[in-house]
C-alpha cells in the first residue's frame, strides 16, 4: 500500500521549568537582554493586574472576571511578536497580549464591570483590534475575515486569533482555519491549551495527540510550543507571522500551558481537579523560569523585582481609581446602540426603563 501523506508536529522549547536553556540556538531577540527584561516586566505587570482584578471582583467592584494566572508567557509572547498594523481577535483572558498592544487596565475593568465602553480601546495599535469575545470561537471567524480583507487589499498585515483547548473543537474554529488554508490567508490561529475547558479536561476533549495537528486538515503549518517558555512562544509566533506576511500561508500554534486559577471568579476548580495536579503545574509556571534565566544572566535581582512590583501596584491603583471614577452610562444606553431606528416594542421598554430610573433616583 502506498502512502498518500505523512505529517509530523514539531515541539519547540528553549527554557525548561527551572529556566535552564535546553538548546543553544537562541533566536536573535533573546540575545537582547534589555528586551527580555521588558517582556518579563510586562509578565509581572500582568500578574499584578490579574491579582488586583480578582480582588476587585471579590469586593463587589467588578463582575465575573476570567483570570489569566499562568498564561503570562503565552499572552505576552503573542502580543510582543505582532506588528502594530496586525489585528488581534482575542477571546476573554489574553490581557498580556492586549496590554502590550495598548489596552489600558481601566478598559478591562470597565468591560468586566459591565460597561461596554471598555471595548472601545483608546490607544493604538489596540484601537483597531477586536473587542473581547465571550461566545466561544466566534472571534476566529472575525480574524479569518480580516485576513481575507488583507489579502484582497494586498496589505502585508496578519490577523491573529486566540482560542482555548476546548474552543478548538468548535465549528467556528474549524471553519476559520479551513478558509485560511483554502484561500492561503494571512491568519495565525493560536490554541492556548491550558488543559481545562472549564471543568472538561484536555484528555477527553480530543483523541488527537496534539491540538496543533488540527491545522493539518486545513493545509496550515502546525507546531506545538511550550506555552510557559516566552522565548519559544515569541519565536514560534514570529515565524508564523513572517510566513503569513510573506504570502506563505497561515498557521496553527498550540501553546501548552496551565490554568492556575479557576475558570472565572464564578468557578471553583477544586470541585473537579486535584490539588497535586495544580501543585505540579505551579512547578512549571512561566514567571519562575524566565526570572531564573534573567538572574543567571545578571540582569535581574530581588531589588529590581521589588521595585517593579511597587511601580505596578501604583499603576494599577491609578487604573482602578480611573475605572471607579468613570461616570456610568444612562439607562437608555442599552437601547440606543442596537438599532439605527429603535423598533416600537423597544421604544416602549426604553420609556418604561426611564420612568423606573427616575423613580429610583
As beta bridge partners, residue 310 has none
Task: State residue 186's pLDDT score.
Answer: 98
Closest CA to 217 of 208, 225, 226: 208
Per-residue pLDDT reduced to its tens digit, 74-102: 999 999 999 999 999 999 999 999 999 99
Cell of 254: 498550540
Give the angle 256-260-266 at the CA atoms, nearest 5°. Answer: 120
End-to-end CA distance of the chain: 79
349 in any annotated domain: yes
350 and 258 belong to one structural domain: no
124 and 220 belong to one structural domain: yes
CA distance 43 to 70: 10
353 and 321 belong to one structural domain: no
Tell me whether residue 37 is exposed, middle or buried, using C-beta atoms within 10 angstroms of its C-beta: 0 to 12, 13 to 18, 19 or more. Answer: middle
Per-residue pLDDT reduced to its tens digit, 97-146: 999 999 999 999 999 999 999 999 999 999 999 999 999 999 999 999 99
| CATH number of 38's domain | 3.40.50.970
CA distance 102 to 121: 8
CA distance 245 to 226: 24
Question: Which amino acids are annotated catalytic?
Answer: 259, 263, 272
Residue 337 clears pLDDT 90, i.e. is over it: no
Cell of 298: 545578571
Task: State residue 320's pLDDT score.
Answer: 97
149 in any annotated domain: yes
335 and 262 belong to one structural domain: no
Decide: 140 and 173 in contact? Cβ < 8 Å. Answer: yes
301 and 340 belong to one structural domain: no
Cell of 210: 496534539
**Order of all β-strands in the sheet with 159-164:** 10-12, 221-226, 251-256, 187-193, 159-164, 87-89
205-210 long-range contacts, CB within 8 A, separation 24+:
205/165, 205/166, 205/169, 206/168, 206/169, 209/9, 210/9, 210/254
CA distance 190 to 163: 6
Residues 6+ apart with CB under 8 A from 63: 57, 112, 113, 114
263 and 230 belong to one structural domain: yes
Decide: 129 and 105 in contact? Cβ < 8 Å. Answer: no
5 in any annotated domain: no
4 in any annotated domain: no
208 and 346 belong to one structural domain: no
Read off the pTM: 0.95
Radius of gyration for the chain, computed over Cα atoms and rounded to the nearest angstrom: 21
More confident call, 76 vs 336: 76
Task: State residue 105's pLDDT score.
Answer: 97
What are the angstrom distances between the C-alpha of 117 and each of 132, 195, 342? 12, 32, 20
Residue 338 clears pLDDT 90, i.e. is over it: no
- Whether the upstream peptide bond of residue 131 has omega within 30° of 0, thus cis, is no
DSSP for 91-124, written as a single string:
-S--HHHHHHTT--HHHHHHHHTT-GGGGS--ST
1 in any annotated domain: no
348 and 200 belong to one structural domain: no
275 and 347 belong to one structural domain: no
203 and 339 belong to one structural domain: no
| DSSP 8-state class, residue 213 | G
Task: State residue 297's pLDDT score.
Answer: 97
- Average pLDDT of the residues in 8-26: 97
2 in any annotated domain: no
199 and 276 belong to one structural domain: yes
198 in any annotated domain: yes
Per-residue pLDDT reduced to its tens digit, 38-69: 999 999 999 999 999 999 999 999 999 999 99
Q: Where are the beta strands (DSSP E) in 79-220?
A: 87-89, 159-164, 187-193, 196-197, 200-201
The domain total for the chain is 2
Mean pLDDT for all residues in the chain:
96
24 and 108 belong to one structural domain: yes
Q: In which domain, by residue range, is 146 found? A: 10-328
Q: Could you count the other beta carbons within 10 Å of the beta carbon of residue 276?
A: 8
Per-residue pLDDT reduced to its tens digit, 168-209: 999 999 999 999 999 999 999 999 999 999 999 999 999 999
Amino acid at each position: 500500500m502506498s502512502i498518500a501523506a505523512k505529517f509530523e508536529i514539531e515541539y519547540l522549547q528553549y527554557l525548561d521549568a527551572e529556566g535552564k536553556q535546553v538548546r543553544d540556538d537562541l533566536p536573535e531577540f533573546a540575545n537582547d537582554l534589555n528586551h527580555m527584561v521588558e517582556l518579563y516586566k510586562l509578565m509581572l505587570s500582568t500578574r499584578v493586574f490579574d491579582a488586583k482584578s480578582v480582588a476587585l471582583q471579590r469586593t463587589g467592584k467588578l463582575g465575573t472576571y476570567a483570570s489569566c494566572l499562568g498564561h503570562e508567557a503565552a499572552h505576552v509572547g503573542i502580543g510582543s511578536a505582532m506588528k502594530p498594523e496586525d489585528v488581534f481577535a482575542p477571546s476573554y483572558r489574553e490581557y498580556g497580549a492586549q496590554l502590550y498592544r495598548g489596552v489600558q487596565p481601566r478598559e478591562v475593568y470597565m468591560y468586566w464591570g459591565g460597561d461596554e465602553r471598555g471595548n472601545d480601546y483608546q490607544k493604538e495599535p489596540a484601537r483597531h483590534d477586536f473587542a473581547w469575545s465571550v461566545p466561544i470561537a466566534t472571534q476566529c471567524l472575525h480574524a479569518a475575515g480580516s485576513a481575507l480583507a488583507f489579502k484582497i487589499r494586498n496589505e502585508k498585515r496578519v490577523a491573529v486569533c486566540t482560542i482555548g483547548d476546548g474552543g478548538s473543537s468548535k465549528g467556528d474554529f474549524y471553519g476559520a482555519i479551513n478558509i485560511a488554508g483554502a484561500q492561503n490567508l494571512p491568519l495565525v490561529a493560536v490554541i492556548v491549551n491550558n488543559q481545562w475547558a472549564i471543568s472538561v479536561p484536555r484528555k477527553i476533549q480530543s483523541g488527537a495527540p496534539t491540538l496543533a495537528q488540527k491545522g493539518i486538515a486545513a493545509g496550515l503549518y502546525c507546531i506545538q510550543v511550550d506555552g510557559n517558555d516566552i522565548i519559544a512562544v515569541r519565536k514560534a509566533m514570529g515565524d508564523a507571522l513572517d510566513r503569513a506576511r510573506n504570502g506563505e500561508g497561515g498557521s496553527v500554534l498550540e501553546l501548552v500551558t496551565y490554568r492556575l486559577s479557576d475558570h472565572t471568579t464564578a468557578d471553583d476548580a477544586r470541585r473537579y481537579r486535584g490539588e497535586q495536579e495544580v501543585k505540579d503545574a505551579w512547578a512549571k509556571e512561566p514567571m519562575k523560569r524566565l526570572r531564573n534565566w534573567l538572574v543567571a544572566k545578571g540582569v535581574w535581582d530581588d531589588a529590581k523585582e521589588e521595585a517593579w512590583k511597587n511601580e505596578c501596584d501604583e499603576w494599577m491603583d491609578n487604573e482602578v481609581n480611573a475605572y471607579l471614577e468613570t461616570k456610568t452610562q444612562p439607562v437608555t444606553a442599552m437601547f440606543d446602540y442596537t438599532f439605527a431606528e429603535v423598533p416600537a416594542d423597544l421604544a416602549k421598554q426604553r420609556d418604561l426603563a426611564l420612568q423606573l430610573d427616575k423613580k429610583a433616583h
